[in-house]
Homo-oligomer: A and B are copies of this chain.
Amino acid sequence: MKKITLKKIAQVFNVSVSTVSKAINDSHEISDDLKGKIQQYAKENKYRPNKLALNLRQKKTKTIGVVVPNILNYFFTQVFSGIEKVANEKGYNLLSCISDESYDKEVKTLEFLGGNTVDGIIISMAEETQFKNKMDHFQNLVDERIPLVMFDRVSNEVACDKVVVDDYEAGYKTTNYFLSTGCSTVAVVTAIDHSSVGRLRVEGYKKALDEANIPYDDKLVVRLDKKDDLELRISFLLNYKKVDAIMALDEMTAVEVLRIVKNKGYKVPEDISIIGFTNGKLSRYVTPALTSVSQHGTYIGEAAANILIERMEDNSNRDFSTLTIKTSLVMRDSTKKRLDQ
């Protein structure tokens, strides 16, 4: 009881393949009698058209490729789930790949997806790619006119639609919030200093300091390597100066910093306030619950998918756009109240 094809049905009824095709697609060209019989037979034998053949013929696959650097990161799974939602609504399927933050894997994945496997691609760059700043594999897609949407970690060397978070403003806003609660020595801990996203947040941080006439001190920015011992680095930081606020650029780091700081006997937020990026479940359930920057991942996913689908279904070559999503601060218990309230 293996796959049944139009050909086989045609043999059964002693008609041509094209007749069967039309019958099954309910064409008016076929007599109701024959149509009925064939349709019934098809149903009984669970005929299912071969998608491959269909796609080959119609030169589209109705599927969109998604590439994320890391699925164990809550932000990306949120985005993913947003993409999934609208893709599903609009009848598209998702072919999803993980680059694992590796440049090579990203290149391979994109090559695969480029081979007529999908009609369009949504991607956030691997960290290594941003570090090496090699964009040829994206350029290839663009050259081949494969609709492409980049989100979060994007490059302005690539001409395509983009959806980004306003990370600069987020860093600025966060720092300002610390200052407005009476903190004066704000440190930053980043594990993503190779990514544009991380850099922008630090820039925003600098701007806020500048506006408050606080000199920028590079020693207060802790840049983590993969194998760095966070605990050690935090010790150094706290010995270096009496910091009273820490902005952590991803959720895991924020949670870890919280743990370490508590372990060392500091009270959060009385002694040290903490704000983390990515408003995931961890932030909510940790004690004290972390004030965090929400990047609205699900929304970003939805937006990216909508933009891509529009681009795919629309031939008018309108200009590429960059959609910037504002973040919002979700207040919880790891920060003090504002002084003026």
A residues in contact (CB < 8 Å) with B: 1-3, 46, 48-53, 55-56, 61, 63, 71-72, 77-78, 80-81, 84, 88, 93-98, 105, 111-112, 114-117, 140, 143-145, 252, 255, 259, 281-282, 285-287
Complex Cα distance, B50 from A287, in Å, reads 53
> Among B1, B51, B112, B143, which residue has its beta carbon within 8 angstroms of that of A115?
B51
Q: Note all chain B residues with C-beta closer than 8 A to A96.
A: 94-96
- CB distance B285 to A115 under 8 Å? no
- CB distance B51 to A116 under 8 Å? yes
Complex Cα distance, B93 from A115, in Å, reads 13
> Among B3, B53, B55, B259, which residue has its beta carbon within 8 angstroms of that of A285?
B259
- CB distance A97 to B94 under 8 Å? yes
Nearest B residue to A70 via CB reads B81
Q: Note all chain B residues with C-beta closer than 8 A to A140.
A: 46
Complex Cα distance, B50 from A62, in Å, reads 16
Check A144/B2 contact, CB under 8 A, given A48-B115, A61-B52, A114-B48: yes
Complex Cα distance, B56 from A39, in Å, reads 25
> A47 to nearest B CB, angstroms?
10
Check A53/B51 contact, CB under 8 A, given A81-B71, A93-B112, A112-B93: no
Nearest B residue to A142 via CB reads B1
Q: List 29 A-B contacts (CB under 8 A).
A: A2-B144, A3-B116, A3-B144, A51-B112, A51-B117, A52-B55, A52-B56, A52-B116, A52-B117, A56-B56, A63-B95, A71-B71, A71-B77, A71-B80, A72-B77, A81-B98, A88-B105, A93-B95, A93-B112, A93-B117, A94-B95, A94-B96, A95-B95, A95-B96, A255-B281, A259-B285, A281-B282, A282-B282, A286-B286
Complex Cα distance, B251 from A120, in Å, reads 36
> A277 to nearest B CB, angstroms?
16
Complex Cα distance, B282 from A306, in Å, reads 32
> A330 to nearest B CB, angstroms?
17
- Which among A50, A55, A112 has the highest number of chain B CB atoms within 10 Å? A55
Complex Cα distance, B114 from A48, in Å, reads 8
Q: Beyond the given A46-B144, A52-B56, A282-B282, please list 6 additional residue pairs across the A-B interface where CB-CB is below 8 A.
A: A46-B143, A56-B56, A72-B77, A72-B78, A282-B285, A285-B286
Q: Note all chain B residues with C-beta closer than 8 A to A281.
A: 252, 255, 282
Complex Cα distance, B114 from A1, in Å, reads 14
